[in-house]
Chains A and B, each alone.
Chain A
Amino acid sequence: MMKVLLFIFLLTPVWGKSVLPSLEQFKITQRANKKFYLIKKRDAKNVHLSEKKEKKLEIIELNVTGLIAELINITEVKGAPEFYCVVYSAGESGTSAIIKEHRCALYNSALMRFEGDLPFQYIPKTKASSPLNYEQPQYKVEQDALKILESGFIIKTIKRSH
């Protein structure tokens, strides 16, 4: 019995932080009507222990400008470990200044669902500029909510599930 308890204890993660899933667990699909979707595949390799119980195929529609959307990376939302961003390249927009947009398909690993498709980073497509001198979306973590702001304006509030 002691051996079993010790075995369970040793298998329990000790760092208490979320481990991000592999990018390979996600796939972007596109349909003939040009709409893009992001799928979180089921039973993929490298799935974190807490997500093993996941039964559903999760999907969310993406906001893409143009013909191409590509996965970039997965990032944690600092201070809100139940969320992570599946960051993707969402195309380029503009009439006289072209801005490349990276967006975040926000995943809630506590509720095991996508919460929304949100702005993540704007990258001006001129050599003189960098993301740092372009106003960026803000992710503000509060006790009970994650708020996403643009131009100081809340565009989405997501209730946290502790």
Chain B
Amino acid sequence: MLLLVAVVKNLLLLLFTFLSFWTFGQDPRESEDPRNISFKTNVVVAPVGENTEKEPKETVQASLGPLSNQEIQIGRLTLDGLIPLSGGGLPPQNAYRNGQIRIGEVLATASETGSENIYEVLLFAPSSDETGLDQKPVRIPGRFSLTESQVRNLMGFSAADQADISLSNVVNRRYSEEVDCDRLAGFSDESSYRERAAATAQGPVNPPLPAERYERSTRSPSAAAPTYSGTDLPQANFATGQTSAVGDGTGLINRRENDPNANQETPGCEPLAATEEDREANPDLEMNQENLTNCIESIQDFILRGVSQPPSASDRALVFRRLFELPNHEQEFAAAIFTVDGEAGHHARENPLEGIMVLKVLSNRRDNANGVESELAACRDNFASGPERSTCFGEVNQDSVFNLMDVALDRLQFSMYNSGDGGNWTSKFGHKRPGQFEDSINSFLNYSGVEEFNIRGGNSNADINKIYHYHTPGVNPAWRNDNLMLQISGTHESLGDLAPTSAHVFYYNHDNAGSTNGDGWYRNVRHEFRNFP
């Protein structure tokens, strides 16, 4: 009887399988789809041009669970249940050994998961200062999750059970070891021995990263090869350290303290990097149309070398990757000039504010990606101008990683860089023509001269530093909202009254219809061409 049931069941299973392949295996898109992926379900992709998006079905709200805000000592435990929220594998156990877990908000409630709450957790590795006594946890990059039962299990361990050897939560174990007399041979005293031991000891496996708003990409060894060949372009490095505002001095264009490309300054770009003192001493370093044209054209020569003009679509990765070989301040300058040219075009000539606002959105997005908007605002409030303000910007930005080029090339965001519809980079900066950047450079030179922005529409809680979005009036993204559209006008120290923008409509935070000033918006910047620090 049992055998009969099994046979019938499996016959039905085979029949169902056959029908499934016969029905779904004929999807006509399978042969047309450019990717090597098969479609196995018969769900229809939304027709092009049709907005099928619906209103959210559920109200979302902040969710702190009973275990939120707790801290748990990890000790020697292995966190098998840990899940990185960006996917992939776990950090090695020695990265968090003797560290701690901080429990955050509930990412999914029991009703959403069908079983139990899932919590966001952050991991901290133990660390210490030079003396080995003052311990300060170091954040391990990435965000993770644990289920409520897993958190409770961890809390069930006593701290004493989890503790490693005495003082072991100081990563530098050697620093806490007892020192016998033999080891001190060759050292003048015990402290010099300890200093040497500390210097040679291994620190945390994962260095702290300043921003958690990007995902850690996995690169194959071939992707790091030192030559360019089709699919294995190596990534460029991020510059780090404090920034110093160059160019117009507003913080739009910045040098970085530790810039891997610092010694690759483009000939002709010296005025861009000069300080006010440099310019006073040497008038040839003045920031003017002629000097900046020389600079951007030299940059153009650099990125287009060996590439036909205009470049083909297949040159996109090569040309974009070369942009990141420039020093940080030149990357930011190129992003500013190219983006205004491709996004605002002749509108920047008709109304300088169109170009200036493109620069403003770029700048706002960079500061948002770096998570420093509020700190920079405090700098602006505390220091009207001058070196103090510049120093304040530099200190705030010392842990920042993203620059204007990162946000400009963030995929799909600024249409001019697209590899399909809207992409005009090949005919713009991909094709050298005399005077092509005149309007963009004017926008750049006039950027610092806006004395007042007037924002109309949306709401009255205006903050020009939190405008993150715009689109041309003729397009209809799902997030278009006529009630939230902003129109910008202004007064300029030399140009006088600036007419209201009309070639672009602007928004604060389209992700949050309830936001009145842009607060709460953030975006993962996709950095396809750069390594992490």
A-to-B contact residues, CB < 8 Å: 3, 6-7, 10-11, 14-15, 20, 23, 27, 29-34, 37, 39, 41-44, 56-61, 63, 65-68, 70, 72-79, 85, 89, 91-102, 105-106, 113-117, 119-127, 129-141, 145, 147, 149-158
12 intermolecular pairs with C-beta atoms under 8 Å apart: A6-B3, A10-B7, A30-B60, A56-B147, A59-B145, A67-B479, A77-B37, A95-B415, A116-B86, A116-B88, A138-B36, A139-B37
Contact between chains at A41 and B472 (CB < 8 Å) = no
Given contacts A29-B60, A41-B113, A136-B35, 14 further A-B contacts (CB under 8 A): A30-B56, A39-B112, A43-B114, A57-B147, A67-B510, A75-B37, A76-B38, A91-B479, A95-B414, A122-B420, A124-B420, A126-B48, A127-B48, A138-B36
Chain B positions 228 through 253: 1 when the CB is less than 8 Å from some CB of chain A, otherwise 0: 00111100000000000000000000
Contact yes or no, A20 B49, CB < 8 A: no
5 nearest A-B residue pairs (beta carbon) = A97-B422, A134-B420, A73-B43, A116-B87, A93-B412
**A105 contacts across to B, CB distance below 8 A:** 87
| A99 and B421 form a contact (CB under 8 A) | yes
Q: Chain A's nearest CB lies how many Å from the CB of B344?
A: 10
- B71-79, B132-140, B214-222: which lies at the A interface? B214-222
Listed residue (B35, B53, B85, B479) with the most chain A CB atoms within 10 angstroms of its CB: B35
User: Is B317 in contact with A68, judged by CB distance below 8 angstroms?
Assistant: no
A63 to chain B, nearest CB (A): 5
**Complex Cα spacing A52 to B89, Å:** 21
Q: Counting chain A CB atoms within 10 Å of each CB, which of B53, B62, B321, B528 scores highest?
A: B53
Closest-CB distance, A9 to chain B (whole angstroms): 9
Chain A residues within an 8 Å CB radius of B495: none
Evaluate contact between A29 and B7: CB separation under 8 angstroms: no
Closest chain A residue, CB of each to CB of B420: A134
What is the 8 Å Cβ interface bit string for chain B, positions 276-313, against chain A (1 contact, 0 not)?
00000000000000000000000000000000000001
Q: Is the CB of A97 within 8 A of B223?
A: no
Asked, given contacts A33-B520, A94-B412, whether A158 binds B145 with beta carbons under 8 Å apart, the answer is no
Instruction: Say how far B422's CB is from chain A's closest CB, in angstroms.
Output: 2
* CB of B340 within 8 Å of the partner chain: no
Interface flag for B381 (CB, 8 Å): no
- Which partner residue on chain A sits nearest B55 by CB separation? A68
CB-contact partner of B421 in A59, A79, A116, A126, under 8 A: A126
Which of chain B's residues have a CB closer than 8 A to the CB of A91?
A: 478-479
Are B113's CB and A124's CB within 8 A? no
Tell whether B143 is near chain A: CB-to-CB under 8 Å.
yes
A68 touches B36 (CB 8 A): no
CA gap between A44 and B115 in the complex, in Å:
10
Q: Which residue, of B10, B478, B479, has the highest number of chain A Cβ atoms within 10 A? A: B478
B118 at the A/B interface (Cβ < 8 Å)?
yes
Q: Is B529 an interface residue (CB 8 A)?
A: yes
In the bound complex, residues from chain B placing their C-beta under 8 Å from that of A100 are 46, 478
What residues of chain A lie closer than 8 Å to B520, measured between beta carbons?
33-34
Residue of B nearest to A71 (CB): B43
Contacting residue for A150 out of B10, B411, B513, CB 8 A:
B411
Given contacts A7-B2, A154-B232, contact A60 B41 (CB under 8 A): no
Complex Cα–Cα for A75 and B25 (A): 12
Shortest distance from the beta carbon of B135 to any chain A beta carbon, whole Å: 30
Q: B10–A11 contact, CB under 8 A? A: yes
Q: Would A68 and B114 be within 8 Å (CB), given that A10-B10, A117-B215 are in contact?
A: no
Contact among B45, B89, B116, B421 with A129 in the assembled complex (CB-CB below 8 Å):
B421
Cβ distance B247 to chain A, nearest Cβ, rounded Å: 24
C-alpha gap A120/B411 in the complex (Å):
13
- Knowing A6-B3, A29-B112, A99-B421, say if A157 contacts B220 (CB, 8 Å): yes
Please give the number of chain B residues whose Cβ is less than 8 angstroms from any Cβ of chain A in the complex: 104
- Shortest CB distance B242–A (Å): 29
Check A94–B475 contact: CB distance below 8 A.
Answer: yes
- Contacts of B46 on A, CB cut-off 8 Å? 89, 100, 123
8 Å CB interface, B87-120 against A: 87-89, 105, 107-109, 112-116, 118
Cβ-based interface call for B428 (8 A): no
Residue of B nearest to A140 (CB): B36
Taken together as a complex, chains A and B put the C-alpha atoms of A141 and B108 apart, in Å, by 33
Query: Once bound together, how far apart are the Cα atoms of A102 and B237, in whole Å?
Result: 29
Given A89-B46, A96-B422, A125-B48, A115 and B87 contact (CB-CB distance below 8 Å): yes
Q: Which residue of A lies closest to B53 (CB)?
A: A68
- CB atoms of B6 and A68 under 8 A apart: no
CB interface residues, B 426-454, toward A, < 8 Å: none
Contacts A20-B41, A157-B223 known; A37 to B32 CB distance under 8 Å?
A: no
Set of chain B residues within 8 Å of A141, measured between Cβ atoms: 36
Structural contact, B87 and A72, CB atoms closer than 8 A? no
Q: Are B218 and A157 in contact (CB under 8 A)?
A: yes
A43-B115, A99-B418 in contact; A85/B37 too (CB < 8 A)?
yes
User: In the assembled complex, which residues on chain A have CB atoms less than 8 Å from the CB atom of B231?
Assistant: 147, 149, 152-154
Contact A78 B36, beta carbon cutoff 8 Å: yes
* Assembly CA distance A45 to B45 (angstroms): 25
Q: Which residue of B lies closest to A83 (CB)?
A: B37
| Cβ–Cβ contact B528 & A150, under 8 A | yes
**Structural contact, B112 and A27, CB atoms closer than 8 A:** yes
Q: How far is the CB of B140 from chain A (nearest CB, A)?
A: 16
Q: Could you say which of A70, A78, A123, A135 contacts B37, with CB atoms under 8 Å apart?
A: A78
Pairwise interchain contact B529-A10, C-beta atoms closer than 8 A: no
Is A3 touching B2 in the complex (CB atoms < 8 A)?
A: yes
Which residue of chain A has its CB nearest to the CB of B145?
Answer: A59
Contact status A32-B37, CB under 8 Å: no
Known interface pairs A94-B415, A141-B36. Does A158 touch B218 (Cβ–Cβ under 8 Å)? yes
Instruction: List the B side residues contacting A66 at CB < 8 Å.
Output: 53, 477-479, 510-511
